[in-house]
Chain A
Amino acid sequence: MAGAFEQKIHETLADTRLQQAVYTATGRLKDSRLAVIAPHVLPDYQELRAHAHLLKRHTVDHLDHYLEKFQRNVESRGGQVVFCNDGAEVADFVLALAKKRGARLIVKSKSMTTEEVDLNEHLEHHGLESVETDLGEYILQLAHERPYHIVAPALHKTRYDVAEILTRRLNAPHETKIEKQTAIARAVLRQKFLAADIGISGANFLVADSGAVVLVENEGNARLATTLPKIHIVVAGIEKVIPRAQDLAVFLKLLARSATGQLLSVYTSFLSGPRRAGEIDGPDEFYVLLLDNGRTKLLPDSAKRQSLYCIRCGACLNACPVYRKIGGHSFPWVYSGPIGAILTPQFMGVSREPSLPFASSLCGACAEVCPVKIDIPSVLVALRADVHQNEARQKRNRVEKLAFRLFRWLMQHPRAYEWAGRLAASLANSADGGWMRRVPVPLNVGPVRAWLSQRDLPPPPSRSFRQLWRQR
């Protein structure tokens, strides 16, 4: 297999240092989560998950109702809601507003949704300065790289990488102490916060009844970006909406625990519009851009619709034995890990990366940790079937289809199945009865070669179980 995806996997597997970094970092996050969802720490964890799933299911099943409600309530408090089909409309809105207000400098807090639509690139292209303020995202912005992990974007960078980036891009003195690197970034970004015209954030939740957005963070950059500038723009996917503020009592108990093993993130902001009369600080203008960008494509199939329940905690990435080996940059899109594996084909079409749904052993570790109980393995299997249907239409991969047709026929005809088994066993003779590294030519087909590239094959038994049974 020589596709781009497989090539990136190969390169990542060969990078020992990166392997160690990814495996260790995700291992820590995985263990941190376990400590705070343990039965004696959070006895109703399973109940909370089930409830969170039901809340998401209800909301997504009636998404139009909640989006309209959200809009009404935001606007009743002086904010404005703009529906955007795609990234171009998001960028156009921001650019138009910036032009109207004479805005030049934008500070941004972490938002996967804005990564999804390459917002910064569009803004920079039109002469605006849009600065990422989350430490990891800032470093990556300086390095012109994509985030590696939903929650730990610079997971793949060492302090030496960071030192080099800061020196090269900021002319900062060479500094490898992490605390000092953080202080350098803090000082630079503080000036940006104080001077910025616009603050752009994502949203973890959109609360329909309140007309409010909820931002969850640890650093304080989202608070700064949404407090100091006169204009606050929220960019959020339409699936982020939840019915009531009180439902946060369920979601907030799950989010930080699942993401980093904290009980709550350091800051949770509940923002419902521009500054009210009498309030001293806060933005004068408040906009929520509700982004589709293909989310409506995930709605029709009721079995796959659950892909939209995701609250972006990253727990599935930390649990996934595949992600822990291939890392975030092997994936073709901004969303990586198990959630990325089911979102990407549904947003982009299965032909964007047809082998992506197959890059999983279906071990279920993701489903086990997902706070909203998305059954990721079942969506992967459904996507695999979609890939094959696509192949059938394009008349590709016929050999595999034939092979499985043969499989079906054999498994419905026990005597033929037995005969085929005996034939294969007689061909693959292992003289000393030991595990085999080689097979004779008729058996040396693609899958067998692939197997043998990594491990040995079991010696064929002289008699199958059913033959032995008959002899009892």
Chain B
Amino acid sequence: MSRNAILDAVRAALGRSEKEPAPDPPPVRLRIPDVSLESRIASMTTSVEALAGRVLRAPTPKHAGPLVRERIANQNAVASNSPYLDECGIRGLPNVHSGITKPDELQKLCAAADVGITGVDYALADTGTLVVLSSPYEARMISLLPPAHLAVMACSRLLTGLDELFTLLPDPAVASSSMVFITGPSRTADIEQILVRGVHGPGEIVVILVG
């Protein structure tokens, strides 16, 4: 069996025996800087805008809805089933399809939609990153198939960076089969190093920061 052949070869090369334990790895290196919420918001805004994304501020959840409505205009949108989007009054907006739980149906809608609207689990201020975990309330393809992605989040979810995220989520696999970091719109520079946005994923990112 290849498994045994390979593991035996590995052990022989390393001079290790079967079932031999391993010492602990070098200690985890996580350092969380002390950064105020205001600074984090400023940092997130700068980072997202540097990546050609947009950040909109909504003082309360009910201010988020109108911002979304304005962006969608007459276009077709799919929204995730996130309770936070409910709280923001987004799921009930005209031209917004939501409440879908079947993947085939969702794929058809997302493939035809102009805008995908999701919540986020966290955001990382130092890199302008959205962190979205797959769940019954957040499907993966909504932030992926439509050419624009609107992410609506509470400021309380804004972390300083990776170190803080991995402190809160030391093992993301416990929570979900999929965690994705989204840092700006899809891009490539594969042809002559010329930057093109929106290759496969959304070419437009809008982050609505609530609070």
Query: So, do A and B actually touch in the complex, CB under 8 Å?
Result: yes
Most chain B CB within 10 A, of A274, A281, A292, is at: A281
What string of 1s and 0s marks CB contacts (under 8 Å) between B174-211 and chain A? 00111111111111111111101011111000000000
Number of interface residues of A (CB under 8 A): 98
Answer whether residue A445 sits at the interface, using C-beta atoms and an 8 A cutoff.
Answer: no
**Complex Cα–Cα for A135 and B129 (A):** 23
Most chain B CB within 10 A, of A136, A219, A280, A296, is at: A280
Answer whether residue A267 sits at the interface, using C-beta atoms and an 8 A cutoff.
Answer: yes
* Residue from B1, B14, B167 within 8 A of A61 (CB atoms): B14
Task: Using A228-B107, A249-B166, A292-B6 as known contacts, say yes or no to A220 and B186 having CB atoms under 8 A apart.
Answer: yes
Number of interface residues of B (CB under 8 A): 76
Contact present for B26 and A89 (CB under 8 Å): no
What string of 1s and 0s marks CB contacts (under 8 Å) between A248-270 and chain B? 11101100000010111111111
Task: Using A152-B190, A152-B193 as known contacts, say yes or no to A282 and B140 having CB atoms under 8 A apart.
Answer: yes
Question: Whose C-beta in chain A lies nearest to the C-beta of B194?
Answer: A178
**Complex Cα–Cα for A244 and B30 (A):** 12
Task: Using A64-B14, A279-B134 as known contacts, say yes or no to A269 and B190 having CB atoms under 8 A apart.
Answer: no
Contact present for B200 and A64 (CB under 8 Å): no
**Complex Cα–Cα for A273 and B26 (A):** 27
* Residue from A154, A193, A211, A296 within 8 A of B6 (CB atoms): A296
Contact present for B177 and A135 (CB under 8 Å): no
B residues apposed to A, CB below 8 Å: 1-3, 5-7, 9-11, 13-14, 16, 20-23, 25-26, 28-30, 47, 81, 100-103, 106-107, 111, 126-127, 129, 134-136, 139-141, 144-145, 162-163, 165-167, 169-173, 176-194, 196, 198-202
Show 22 A/B contacts (Cβ-Cβ < 8 Å), sorted by A. A58-B23, A61-B14, A64-B11, A136-B190, A159-B191, A186-B198, A194-B107, A219-B186, A224-B201, A244-B25, A246-B170, A275-B177, A280-B81, A280-B102, A280-B103, A280-B134, A281-B107, A281-B139, A281-B140, A282-B177, A282-B178, A296-B6
A residues apposed to B, CB below 8 Å: 24-25, 28, 48, 51, 54-55, 58-59, 61-68, 73, 77, 82-85, 89, 133-136, 139, 152-155, 157-159, 162, 178-179, 181-182, 185-186, 189-190, 193-194, 207, 209-212, 218-221, 223-224, 227-228, 238, 243-250, 252-253, 260, 262-276, 278-282, 286, 290, 292, 296, 299-300
